[in-house]
Amino acid sequence: MSLNLKFHIIAACLVAAFLTTNAQTHSSEIGLQSDNDSYLLQGSDRYYTDGIFLFYRHALKTSSNAALQNKVLGFELGQKIYNPQTGNIPSANTVDRPFAGYLYAGASLNLLYKNESNLKLGAQIGMIGPAAGGEGAQKFVHNTFGFYSLNGWMYQIKNAFQLNLSAEYNRLLARSDGFDVSASGYANLGTGFTGAGVGPLFRLGKLGQLFNSISTQSTAIAKENAPQTNNGEFFVHYKPQFNYVAYDATIEGGLFNKKETGSLEVTRVPVRAIFSNQVGVSFVSKRWVIDYTATFPTSVVKPQHYSQQWASITLLYRFN
């Protein structure tokens, strides 16, 4: 599928969504997210170059818990692909960010409170290395759509089993007509990813409350827990964030892996302090949830020869 065709499909989905009116209550949703640096139309193919994720979320009853407004159980499958400054490198010493794939399955429980705070707990199991299929997936795309030939995956991060835990917390700080700001933070702990991040989230437009919003992955909600007015969402958002990286297996290799004599694996040391900016637009209608977000982080390794950026496109379908 060409990039032009992808954008025409996305535009058609947006038009169809705008033709619907108010949002309705749905307890389940299914959909996908695609990450790619080409969505920024800059012609780059480097660093975090591609990601694909499938989601299923279902809202649970909150029973007699007076503080909880919503509770969402989620499942996901995902693959992330990383390469250096390009997917075609002449030698190992030109690898700035290592070649790596990450394939995983995950589950999460999102607890959303009436005071518009939430705590989302998650766990993932998976693999990095050749078993994650990054090389095969990238070669399939390049060969299918006539992109340039790849060279360098022989230097990729070696196989390592992954068990990663995560926690995310958000809380509303202030809201006026059509504008709000909330605090957001996360922490990761595992064999692949350990670190934390914090920053504010600014939203401007038609806003949903944070216990039933795309901003907190809670557009699924049980009918008895839904707010009295549920008119959908349409807003722009901006999120500056400070991130601390204690460990990243896609850069440093498996936590328990030892460097083997004669191995072609290339690893690097990550930058520990990373600042990122996210900007995008979100829309929620009767059945559809659509989001476009661009991410611009500072360097993740040293030396990193170019800047890194990508965009994420999310499309979810809501049902009972």
Region of 178 on the Ramachandran plot (φ > 0 left; ψ -120 to 50 alpha; else beta): left
- The mean pLDDT value for 76-82 works out to 98
Provide the sign of the torsion angle of the four alpha carbons 217, 220, 222, 228, taken in this order: positive
pLDDT of 12 > 60? The answer is no
pLDDT of 16 > 80? The answer is no
44 vs 273, which has greater pLDDT?
273
pLDDT of 234 > 60? The answer is yes
- The mean pLDDT value for 118-141 works out to 97
Per residue in 135-155, is it b (16+ CB within 10 Å) or e — as a string?
A: bebbeebbeeeeeeebebbeb
pLDDT of 202 > 80? The answer is yes
- The mean pLDDT value for 236-244 works out to 98
Residue 266 phi, psi (nearest 5):
-110, 120
pLDDT at 101: 98
pLDDT at 20: 46
* CB contact set of 67 (below 8 Å; sequence gap of 6+): 113, 114, 115
pLDDT of 279 > 70? The answer is yes
Residue 315 phi, psi (nearest 5):
-135, 120
The two structure tokens encoding residue 111: 């607890």
- The number of angstroms, rounded, from the C-alpha of 181 to the middle of its chain's C-alpha atoms is 21
93-105 per-position pLDDT tens digit: 999 999 999 999 9
Helix (H, G, I), strand (E, B) or coil at 98: coil
d(CA 255, CA 67) in angstroms, rounded, equals: 40
Query: What is the DSSP secondary structure assignment for residue 10, as one 8-state letter?
Result: H
- The number of angstroms, rounded, from the C-alpha of 223 to the middle of its chain's C-alpha atoms is 28
pLDDT at 320: 87
Tell me the longest C-alpha to C-alpha distance in the chain.
Answer: 65
d(CA 45, CA 49) in angstroms, rounded, equals: 6
pLDDT of 10 > 90? The answer is no
pLDDT at 146: 87
The two structure tokens encoding residue 314: 């999310």
pLDDT at 149: 92
- The mean pLDDT value for 58-67 works out to 89
Alpha-helical (H) ranges within 165-303 are 249-252
DSSP string covering 156-181: SPPPEEEEEEEEEEEEEEEEETTEEE
301-314 per-position pLDDT tens digit: 999 999 999 999 99
**Is residue 77 within 8 Å of 53, Cβ to Cβ?**
yes
**Is residue 166 within 8 Å of 186, Cβ to Cβ?**
yes
Q: Which domains does the chain have, with CATH numbers?
A: 3-319 (2.40.128.140)
pLDDT-wise least confident of 21-25, 109-113, 281-285: 21-25
170-191 per-position pLDDT tens digit: 999 999 999 999 999 999 999 9
* CB contact set of 286 (below 8 Å; sequence gap of 6+): 20, 21, 22, 23, 24, 232, 318
Helix (H, G, I), strand (E, B) or coil at 201: strand
pLDDT at 41: 87
Neighbours of 80 (CB within 10 A): 21
